[in-house]
Structure 1
């Protein structure tokens, strides 16, 4: 009897490790492939981060995951949820309160205006006019308003959305973020954007989706522009904490009896705590570098895992209206952001 019990115990242990190991190997392979692809000269010129490439490769590898779902599911879900939150928490080591003070009250106020307005108008256009799924609308609007794919992932985790909804939203912010990254420097060089280098930095930081987009567009104009754009962008990133706390309360699906399901995103508080630690305590440069790398790597693993969970049929079914919404929001950011900077930033 004891031999049978021991045999069953060993079998369960073997099954447990196989299920987790297979999934982690798959996610790790996709993540490493993302870093390699991003390092290629052509991709480097496009400023395509491993974060974005990870979700694309994950989608391409998703048929493999479908065939081996029983042996991979646990690790992939863990990567898409838990590693995502850990990556966002550690992302706080990219931000300090001192850098935010540098851009002054106007920069902080305009960042707040952009985030609130895009979220509000995005919800109205998506849900009321386009009749788009509420959660997809929130994810697309959040990605456009705050910090691209990272915001989509954080909101997706907080809202407990289905994976395909997050992928649709990520796709929209990637496409229009890239368009803006190439369009802004071109229009500036041609003289169509009558802003100073400082104003252009505010403009880029306030309106482009991804951090990589901000780096690419700002760097193509001037170092001064890039530095200001990055600081303004980080203010928008910091506003993610407030959005994560508010959005689930107002937009989460109602439970029976009319009560709302309120998922408190505790990782948002940890993120804010990390920002405070990084601002108040002088940590060794090497430690900060390692923590920033781990943040990026965990986020790439989360994006890869998210891509592996994609249902392409649902993606194609709901993607059209989401891209229409993202296009409209991109237009609002492009033109509205210009007038805000032109009239309120000296």
Structure 2
């Protein structure tokens, strides 16, 4: 009986925020389907959702107590569900085509950006090591999810996590728009669509940023689904690296610090959705070899999965936009903002040359 009441409570607390976010999603998808608007802007529903979310963010914060639970659910749970369902767009053949070399590229990005963040953050921007580590984790691995996971492991001040999340959300969104525009207007020399896929997967902060940028690029330029898949695969390799990253960082932090105030280590946050994403790829590969599954046409199953994936990601993009509090961020996080900007530029420039180095190896 208590379980039923608990479920009802969860549904009730999320409903208003989900309905609010759903209104943005419906309007965004409506705008993206108007041909005249599509021809003029080349923006996908994901882009409209984030723009509308940002514009409505002051109103959201005014009534945050009413909508927060549902918006948070959209930004976290639906995003992860959307990424899992993205596996319907990828087969094992494509995943293996990126393979070990993609893993090496992802490892280089994660390790170099995180180490740079710790050194530059503490030496140049005079931030404490924990804040530098949080910003570095968010920039290097998978945005807000990495920040929150590392914050839990370090047992740091929650405000440090809020500042770090703010930076990776803002720069993730900026770069999400820069990448497809830069590719569409030939501002990135030496890149074909596959190179752009590798580049986006290697430098963008959030998984939703990669999915959104790929979606926009398909509408704006010669960027097909294969290139979009490469971007997501590279990004998901960075996400999967969160597991060993947390274990290694936590080990060294525990080794170098004394156990004071009687604190005990918290359970590490493992990104299980990344492994579910891999499982969905295996399932999609299985479906590709059959005409029916449980009496249902496999093309229908894949189509439904892809549509649900799109809806979930648009929900997540709208929710991320709503949660950007620019006033609080600019007031409290100038040095944190500076570090995130430095890391963003490092990702843009370093990622470009790293992609060129791997040209002929990954594709």
TM-score for the superposition, normalised by structure 1: 0.71
* Structure 2 residue corresponding to 1:243, chosen from 209, 225, 241: 241
Cα contact 1:55–1:306 (8 A) shared by 2: yes
Cα contact 1:142–1:155 (8 A) shared by 2: yes
Cα contact 2:201–2:233 (8 A) shared by 1: no
Shift of residue 117 of structure 1? 2.4
Cα contact 1:86–1:295 (8 A) shared by 2: yes
Deviations 1:272-311 (A, max 9, x none): 3223322344371222222222223223323433444444
What are the within-5 Å matches in structure 2 for residues 197-216 of structure 1? Answer: 197=192, 200-201=195-196, 204-205=199-200, 207=202, 209=204, 210-214=210-214
Query: Using the alignment, how far apart are the partners of 2:269 and 2:129 within structure 1?
Result: 16
Deviations 1:311-331 (A, max 9, x none): 443222355445544443343
Cα contact 1:95–1:234 (8 A) shared by 2: no
Shift of residue 136 of structure 1? 7.1
Shift of residue 186 of structure 1? 4.5
**Residue 270 (structure 1) aligns with:** 276
**Residue 230 (structure 1) aligns with:** 228
Shift of residue 342 of structure 1? 4.1
Distance change >3 Å, CA 32–CA 99, structure 1 → 2: same
Helix, strand or coil: the match of 1:239? helix
Helix, strand or coil: the match of 1:79? helix
Distance change >3 Å, CA 222–CA 91, structure 1 → 2: closer
Distance change >3 Å, CA 258–CA 235, structure 1 → 2: same
Query: Using the alignment, how far apart are the partners of 2:46 and 2:172 within structure 1?
Result: 12
**Residue 290 (structure 1) aligns with:** 304
**Residue 24 (structure 1) aligns with:** 18
* Structure 2 residue corresponding to 1:279, chosen from 263, 272, 285: 285
Cα contact 1:167–1:307 (8 A) shared by 2: no
Q: Note if 1:183 corresponds to 2:188.
A: no
Query: Using the alignment, how far apart are the partners of 1:212 and 1:274 within structure 2?
Result: 20
Distance change >3 Å, CA 178–CA 305, structure 1 → 2: closer
**Greater shift after overlay, 22-31 or 272-281?**
272-281
Deviations 1:227-258 (A, max 9, x none): 66434323322214423324545369999534
* Structure 2 residue corresponding to 1:97, chosen from 79, 85, 92: 92
What are the within-5 Å matches in structure 2 for residues 153-168 of structure 1? Answer: 153-155=144-146, 158=149, 165-168=164-167
Query: Using the alignment, how far apart are the partners of 1:263 and 1:219 within structure 2?
Result: 36
Distance change >3 Å, CA 178–CA 306, structure 1 → 2: closer
**Greater shift after overlay, 171-180 or 119-128?**
119-128
Shift of residue 72 of structure 1? 3.4
**Residue 143 (structure 2) aligns with:** 152
TM-score for the superposition, normalised by structure 2: 0.68
* Structure 2 residue corresponding to 1:259, chosen from 256, 264, 282: 264
Cα contact 2:42–2:216 (8 A) shared by 1: yes
**Residue 120 (structure 1) aligns with:** 115
**Greater shift after overlay, 287-296 or 124-133?**
124-133
Unaligned runs of 5+ in 2: 1-5, 153-157, 205-209, 255-259
**Residue 315 (structure 2) aligns with:** 301
**Greater shift after overlay, 290-299 or 155-164?**
155-164
Query: Using the alignment, how far apart are the partners of 1:177 and 1:99 within structure 2?
Result: 23
Distance change >3 Å, CA 104–CA 20, structure 1 → 2: closer
Count of residues in Structure 1 that have an aligned counterpart in Structure 2: 325
**Greater shift after overlay, 233-242 or 162-171?**
162-171
Cα contact 2:88–2:280 (8 A) shared by 1: yes
Cα contact 2:88–2:302 (8 A) shared by 1: yes
